[in-house]
Every structure is written in structure tokens, then in C-alpha cells.
Copies of this chain bind each other. A is one copy, B any other.
Amino acid sequence: MAIEHAILVSLLERPGSGYELARRFERSIGYFWTATHQQIYRVLKRMENDGWVEALVVPQHGRPDKKQYSVADLGRAALTSWLHDPIEPETVRHDLAVKIRGAAFDDPSALIREVERHRQAHADRLAHYLAGEERDFGRRTDSGPYGPDDAERELQHAVLRGGIAYERMMIAWLDDVLATLHRFRDDHFRDDRFRADAPSADPSSADRAAR
């Protein structure tokens, strides 16, 4: 009961086909809301039946026709209603945190590579965000008073800043976790049950995406 709203917002920002939406859900929007193309097509069809969106069939050169969706009045009303609804439970699922706690019942140092991989993924995403920020919000061209068109831009930037803050936090925390895991392996933790077989180099504070 919420993917609809993510789609509405995306279509209000720019109309597009199901396929284009699916690609957006792999990039910008997808970083704080995931959805596969199957789900998008299904929900889009339901939204069309409910009159939330309107489809315009665009014939194309050779390729199959695409349906260009845009938000109808009913959809806009539904979004407004949702925006004013105070609900929001905030459900989180961090596999990695489960793994870290679970590592206590296995060889903790076996998790080092996994955590490093995740750290790398977050560093990559951070770099991507920062590049996007520079590109889209580099310098304010007009520093005059805000108009209604600036709201979209400003709010997108605010969400992007959230993504940047999140990735920075994750990188710092994963460095913390890595330090903890290394401490077990290197100095103190010795247990017959486990043995560290691959002494990987310490990556402590090697790189750190700055700005």
C-alpha cells in the first residue's frame, strides 16, 4: 500500500512507461524504494483501472508500443490524501546486522570479506550520489526568492542529502565493525574451534570519501 505512492511521485516528476519507471527504481528512487518491473506493471494496471493514472499508447519504430503513463486527478488526490495521513511505522531490515550478531557463533573473522564488500558498495553509492549532487545541484544559478518550481528541486536535493548522510554513516560504521572483527583475529581472540586461514591486509581508513 505504498508502492503506488512512489509511482505517483515519480510520474508527477516526469511521465513515463512502466519500463522507464522500472529503470528509475534501479536508480534515483530505487535507492530508498525498491520494486521489480513485474510489480510496477501490475500496480500500474490496477492504478489505471482505478483512474489514478492515464495511459497514452505511443507507437514506436519497430519496437513494441509503449504506454506513456501520467497522473490523473484521482491519483493526485490519492497522493495528497496519503501525504496528509500521519501514519508511518518505519520498518527496517538489515541482514548484515543479523549476520554480525550471528558471527559470534561462527568464526567472526570469516565475516571480514563480506563486510568489506558491503563497505565498498556503500562507498560506490556515495561516490555516485556525490557526482549526481555536483551535476544537478552544483551551484545555485538564481539565488532569488523561491518559486513553486524550485520546491521539487529543493526537496529532491534534501532527499539526496539524506542518502549521502546515510552512506557516510554506513561507511563509518562498517569501518568500526571491521576494526572490531580485526581485533578478534589479530590480537586477542584465540579459540581452537576457529582458525583464521587468510590473513587479509588491514584496510583501516585506507580511503574515505570526503567532501
Contact = CB atoms under 8 A, between A and B. Distances in A.
Nearest to A179: B158
A94 B121 CA distance: 19
Interface residues of A, number: 75
Given A108-B155, A169-B166, A193-B148, A93 B95 contact: no
In this complex, which of A102, A111, A176, A191 has the most chain B Cβ atoms within 10 angstroms of its Cβ?
A102
A189 interface: yes
Contacts of A189: 146-148, 150-151
Nearest to A6: B98
A92 B176 contact: no
In this complex, which of A86, A155, A165, A191 has the most chain B Cβ atoms within 10 angstroms of its Cβ?
A155
A162 B148 contact: no
A23 interface: no
5 contacts: A8-B102, A90-B95, A101-B159, A148-B193, A165-B173
